[in-house]
Chain A
Amino acid sequence: MLTRPFSSLFLLMAMFFLSTSNTLANDQLDEFNPTDMIMHHIQDSYDWHFFDIGETPVSLSLPVLLKTDKGWITFMSSEFHHDTEGEYVVEKNGQKVVNYHEKAYVLNEGESTLKFDANHYPENAIRPIDLSITKNVAAIFLSVMVLLLMFPRLAKHYKKSNKAPKGLNNALETLVLFVRDEIAKPQIGEKKYMKFMPFLLTVFFFIWVTNLLGLLPGAANVTGSISVTVALGLITLILMIFNGSKDYWQHIFWMPGVPVPVRIILAPIELVGLFIKPIALMIRLFANITAGHIIILSLIGLIFILSSAGVAFISVPFALFISVLELLVAFLQAFIFTMLSALFIGMAVEEHEHH
């Protein structure tokens, strides 16, 4: 009995799909480029673009900070006038800046327009040192603000009473305990875990909150950008290097208990392994989050590729399903990143029993 409404809905959908696909396909297919759309959504940009009303984009203008040999160039990103093709030239302190595919280029002296070489690379401009507050940087600051709103409040609770907190604080405390008891203690050990708790807790909650905020419509893809995960992985690497025990280094450079020739072969492998570990961390987080975004965007993009609103009946539930899955992935990736960081740090600080 239950299947009847579903089957009739499907039929309706199919009819709608068939009737509209022919008419719309021809004039819209060449306009819509799904790759561009998806790349635009998962990559960084100078503006924080939310949506368009008709032809007018609604976006947040963010500061652009560039450093060239001739000094700093600062202006608001609205001065690009939403141009990303390098056509609109912003002139500041006698230097000309263009935005080509969300990368700022400073034109060489004497040039007035951006020219491209055979490979479509700009040939008469250089990339300055770019410290702009881009969409992703702004989103990072937003995550930081959320964290600073949540956790000092929880900390205040313990000054007032030593009873268990209620509501949101209770949920946060549970997660803090989760990081302590399920991640830090088992991986690093009872004796040394306290030293790494601030790092592990901060990274866990930063990644989790940023992942969740990234799922909101119009939000930035922060944890899905390699620059961000490189920074996070770098901290894990630094902690591994600076807290490595004598045993750990000995196991890398001069593995005990194996013949000398094997030691010589093992040393470079182990040394590469030291760097591979955080690299695996950064790629895992980046790839998982970016993949999630791409899947959701592809499912939505399907509506426009097939130029049929009927596809929405399939695409939207699927995208919704993936979005809900992403809620899980958001937590899972935060957990895995923290877990593996703790594991790697634990391996580094471990004192071996002498064999």
Chain B
Amino acid sequence: MDLVKPEFGLFFWQLITIIILIFLLAKFAWNPILKGIKDREDSINDSLNAAEDAKKEMMHLQEKNQDMIKEARAERDQMLKDAQSARKRMLEEANSQANEKAAQIIAKAQETIQADKKAALQEIKSEVASLSIEIAEKIIATKLKDDKSQQDLVERMLKDVKLN
């Protein structure tokens, strides 16, 4: 029965030792160890979260980049379109201006021509008149031997003048 009968001495030493051991290890081992493990777990969790955030941020940035590229492309297209239309407009403008000018020049030229023509006709008329007068004078001088022929001549001449 000695086997199952507790001995006071051994019980006493075991109790004292284990209590001291609990306090010693709590102070110098368990608390620092558990704290260290907890800190590490926290830092791992934080790192994982940070990595996830970074990933999200990157996705976001990528999306933003895509948007920016799209925008830039749209802008470029717009600019090209604008430039094209501007060119077209400018060409049209230049064309119409040129046409206008040409028309003006032509109109002016025609005016001048008209005026010159008028002047020339005037001159020719007066020349013709004087020539006619000269011719008439000569013819008269030669043909106006009698009154009747004079009268005929005058009449004829008047008729002719009207035609002109």
Q: Using a CB–CB distance below 8 Å, which chain A residues touch chain B?
A: 39, 42-44, 65, 101, 129-134, 136-137, 140-141, 144, 147-148, 151-152, 154-155, 157-159, 162-164, 173, 176-177, 180, 194, 197-199, 201-203, 206, 225-228, 230-232, 234-235, 286, 290
Chain B residues near A201 (CB, 8 Å)?
25, 30
Per-residue contact bits, chain B 1-34, to A (CB 8 Å; 1 contact, 0 not): 0111111111111110111011111101111111
Do B26 and A227 touch across chains, with their CB atoms under 8 A apart?
A: no
25 contacts between A and B (CB under 8 A): A131-B9, A131-B12, A134-B9, A134-B10, A137-B10, A147-B25, A148-B25, A155-B32, A158-B35, A159-B36, A162-B36, A162-B43, A164-B40, A176-B33, A176-B34, A180-B37, A198-B22, A202-B22, A225-B7, A227-B7, A228-B10, A228-B14, A231-B15, A286-B4, A290-B3
Do A140 and B13 touch across chains, with their CB atoms under 8 A apart?
A: yes
Closest to A232 in B: B18
Cα A201 to Cα B34 with chains together (Å): 11
Interface of A is mostly: helix
Do B6 and A226 touch across chains, with their CB atoms under 8 A apart?
A: yes
Do A155 and B29 touch across chains, with their CB atoms under 8 A apart?
A: yes
Q: Is B100 an interface residue (CB 8 A)?
A: no
B69 to chain A minimum Cβ distance, whole angstroms, is: 42
Q: Is B127 an interface residue (CB 8 A)?
A: no
How many chain B residues touch A (Cβ–Cβ < 8 Å)?
A: 36
Closest to B35 in A: A158
Q: Can you add 10 more A-B contacts, CB < 8 Å, to A65-B9, A202-B25, A226-B4? A: A39-B3, A134-B10, A148-B25, A154-B29, A157-B36, A158-B35, A180-B37, A198-B22, A227-B8, A235-B19
Cα A79 to Cα B146 with chains together (Å): 206
Chain B residues near A290 (CB, 8 Å)?
3
Cα A173 to Cα B29 with chains together (Å): 11
Interchain CB contact (< 8 A) of A198 among B12, B30, B37: B30
Do A235 and B18 touch across chains, with their CB atoms under 8 A apart?
A: yes
B26 to chain A minimum Cβ distance, whole angstroms, is: 4
Closest to A198 in B: B26
A101 with B2, Cβ < 8 A, contacts A228-B14, A231-B14 known: yes
Do B21 and A144 touch across chains, with their CB atoms under 8 A apart?
A: yes
A42 with B3, Cβ < 8 A, contacts A180-B34, A197-B34, A201-B25 known: yes
